[in-house]
């Protein structure tokens, strides 16, 4: 599971500015994907979200329009030969993990403060809640997902 994630991360990170490529980013995004889809579902069961990070159309619009992220996501879209319409990205992230990852990474970029280190799962949880605003947050699963992400990072 984390080998495939690592390949997606590497491909996506190459499309984004180097400052976004950090260990805490790798782990926060892996934990978020585990939390949202267990890295098993690219289409939300019974819901509208898409991709391993379970983005809804509103999240796509947010990244496309936020002053901290809009220029970066447009570079990614151009390099992957997608137009800048939210509906195009929404459809694409279900099948294009590299694009879904870029949206997920940029969805954390607009938050103030650094992403959490391995000993800061509560900060990671707070950032996840703020950035994703999940309908069913499952706080009891976060610590295990966060720890799994850091263990995977250490083994990569």
Per-residue pLDDT reduced to its tens digit, 116-136 = 999 999 999 999 999 999 999
For residue 5, the model assigns a pLDDT of 86
Q: Per-residue pLDDT for 37 more than 60?
A: yes
- Mean pLDDT for 127-149 is 96
In whole angstroms, what is the distance from residue 131 CA to residue 110 CA? 9
Backbone φ and ψ for 55, nearest 5 degrees, come out as -80, 140
Write the pLDDT tens digit of every residue in 64-118.
999 999 999 999 999 999 999 999 999 999 999 999 999 999 999 999 999 999 9
For residue 156, the model assigns a pLDDT of 86
What DSSP character marks residue 42?
S
Burial of residue 35 (number of CB atoms within 10 Å: 0-12, 13-18, 19+): buried
In whole angstroms, what is the distance from residue 71 CA to residue 89 CA? 15
The answer to whether the CB of 78 falls within 8 A of the CB of 29 is no
Tokens 């619009």 found at? 61
Percentage above 90 pLDDT, the chain: 94
- Average model confidence (pLDDT) across the chain: 96
| pLDDT-derived band at 6, boundaries 50, 70, 90 | confident
């Amino acid at each position: 599971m984390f080998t495939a994630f690592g390949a997606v991360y590497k491909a996506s990170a190459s499309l984004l500015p180097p400052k976004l490529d950090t260990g805490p980013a790798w782990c926060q995004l892996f934990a978020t994907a585990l939390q949202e889809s267990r890295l098993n579902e690219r289409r939300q069961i019974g819901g509208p979200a898409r991709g391993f990070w379970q983005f809804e159309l509103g999240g796509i619009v947010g990244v496309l329009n936020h002053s901290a992220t809009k220029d970066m996501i447009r570079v990614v879209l151009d390099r992957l030969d997608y137009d800048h319409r939210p509906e195009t990205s929404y459809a694409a992230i279900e099948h294009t993990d590299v694009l879904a990852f870029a949206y997920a990474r940029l969805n954390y970029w607009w938050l103030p403060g650094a992403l959490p280190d391995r000993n800061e799962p509560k900060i990671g949880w707070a950032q996840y809640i703020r950035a994703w605003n999940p309908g069913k947050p499952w706080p009891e699963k976060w610590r295990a997902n966060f720890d799994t992400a850091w263990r995977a990072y250490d083994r990569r």
